[in-house]
């Protein structure tokens, strides 16, 4: 059937379109480099969120807390103490992992909206610390002149090279996520997502595996936060506010929760849609909202699963 042939071609078409955008940005530079760079950073952030929500079936509104820890650690150490980018980033990842292990050990005993509220409080607390501890974070004034991505004291010469490094980092993060999903750990997390009681009956240490997933998600978020501050060169508390969580959720559900490439697809679409509708001027937000609603209606499992939906003639089950 024609629809089946088109469905098979959809992934290839999507990859060609994405690579075309990257090639155009690398050749001609401009504003698109910044848009794609931020999309890559958010794809890393959402990959961590997907690991905890999509693979494990849990809810977290506190991913921005770990992104803030990674971002501020890199910003403070590189500007105030002349650390290199990689050592500062590594310490940020370690700090986020330790905090996630401590907080997760206490909060992951909760379920449902109780867990959601606990993680939301974590994000709000970390953001408030960033605001009030102005002797270190400089509050709403923010930290500027953060060194660009680079190594051994040498910064990457242009935003195009930074975009290449971000894409390589994203590819590594997606590869790791894919390997973990199909590993023994991933199968255990899938069992927990299906039913915690059934997983526990099978001998799976539910608390331990949930904590592992929470820590991995925190490391992804901290890595994204660190990459953000070095790419943009500035950080302030509002960068890691609640809007980051909302944007991450939108990207995850639009791209496809529980899929490896879903975070990439969602981050790219949500980053490019506002630019696509910029010509609508005062109706830009309306057009953007309508587009999101149509995506969720016709691709309820995310754009990453659109090819399967099309092949079935649109009769796939909705969430």
User: Which tens digit of pLDDT belongs to each residue from 211-254?
Assistant: 999 999 999 999 999 999 999 999 999 999 999 999 999 999 99
CA distance 45 to 217: 8
Instruction: Please tell me the pTM assigned to this model.
Output: 0.90
CA distance 165 to 174: 14
Q: Kindly tell me if the per-residue pLDDT of 13 is higher than 80.
A: no
* pLDDT number for residue 275: 75
Rounded average pLDDT over 115-131: 94
More confident residue, 26 or 69: 69
Rounded average pLDDT over 178-187: 94
Q: φ, ψ for residue 188 (rounded to 5)? A: -65, -40
* Cβ-proximal residues to 29 (8 Å cutoff; 6+ apart), any chain: 158, 159, 160
- For the chain, the structural domain boundaries read 2-308
* pLDDT number for residue 153: 65
Looking at the chain, the whole-number percentage of residues with pLDDT higher than 90 is 63
Q: Kindly tell me if the per-residue pLDDT of 104 is higher than 50.
A: yes
Q: Kindly tell me if the per-residue pLDDT of 304 is higher than 90.
A: no
* pLDDT number for residue 316: 47
9: pLDDT confidence band, cut at 50, 70 and 90? low
- Tokens at residue 36, please? 């794609």
319: pLDDT confidence band, cut at 50, 70 and 90? very low
306: pLDDT confidence band, cut at 50, 70 and 90? low
* pLDDT number for residue 288: 78
* Cβ-proximal residues to 274 (8 Å cutoff; 6+ apart), any chain: 284, 288
Rounded average pLDDT over 89-116: 92
- Tokens at residue 129, please? 């610390």
How does 142-175 read in b/e, with b if 16+ C-beta sit within 10 Å? bbeebbbbbeeeeebeebbebbbbbbebbeebbe
Q: φ, ψ for residue 304 (rounded to 5)? A: -65, -20
Q: Kindly tell me if the per-residue pLDDT of 3 is higher than 60.
A: no
* Cβ-proximal residues to 240 (8 Å cutoff; 6+ apart), any chain: 64, 65, 67, 68, 71, 123, 126, 127, 130, 225
CATH topology assigned to domain 2-308:
ABC transporter involved in vitamin B12 uptake, BtuC (1.10.3470)
Q: Is 150 helix (H, G, I), strand (E, B) or coil?
A: strand
pLDDT tens for residues 152-170? 666 777 888 899 999 999 9
Q: Kindly tell me if the per-residue pLDDT of 190 is higher than 90.
A: yes
């Amino acid at each position: 059937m024609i629809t089946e042939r088109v469905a098979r071609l959809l992934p290839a078409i999507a990859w060609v379109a994405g690579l075309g955008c990257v090639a155009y940005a690398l050749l001609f530079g401009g504003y698109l480099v910044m848009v794609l760079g931020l999309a890559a950073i958010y794809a890393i952030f959402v990959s961590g969120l997907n690991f905890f929500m999509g693979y494990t079936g849990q809810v977290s509104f506190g991913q921005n807390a770990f992104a803030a820890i990674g971002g501020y650690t890199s910003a403070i150490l590189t500007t105030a103490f002349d650390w290199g980018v990689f050592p500062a980033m590594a310490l940020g990842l370690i700090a986020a992992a330790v905090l996630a292990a401590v907080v997760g050990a206490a909060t992951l005993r909760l379920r449902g909206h109780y867990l959601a509220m606990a993680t939301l409080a974590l994000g709000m607390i970390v953001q408030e610390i960033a605001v009030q501890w102005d002797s270190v974070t400089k509050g709403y004034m923010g930290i500027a002149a953060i060194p660009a991505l680079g190594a051994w004291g040498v910064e990457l010469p242009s935003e195009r090279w930074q975009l290449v490094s971000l894409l390589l980092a994203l590819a590594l993060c997606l590869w790791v996520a894919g390997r973990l999903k199909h590993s023994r750990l991933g199968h255990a997390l899938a069992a927990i997502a299906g039913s915690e009681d059934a997983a526990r009956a099978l001998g799976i240490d539910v608390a331990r595996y949930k904590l592992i997933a929470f820590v991995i998600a925190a490391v992804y978020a901290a890595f994204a936060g660190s990459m953000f501050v070095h790419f943009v060169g500035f950080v302030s508390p509002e960068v890691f506010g609640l809007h980051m969580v909302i944007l991450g959720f939108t990207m995850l559900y639009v791209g496809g929760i529980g899929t490896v490439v879903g975070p990439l697809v969602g981050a790219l679409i949500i980053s490019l849609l506002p630019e696509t509708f910029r010509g609508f001027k005062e109706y830009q937000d309306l057009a953007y909202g309508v587009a999101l609603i149509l995506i969720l209606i016709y691709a309820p499992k995310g754009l990453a699963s659109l090819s399967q939906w099309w092949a079935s003639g649109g009769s796939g089950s909705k969430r």
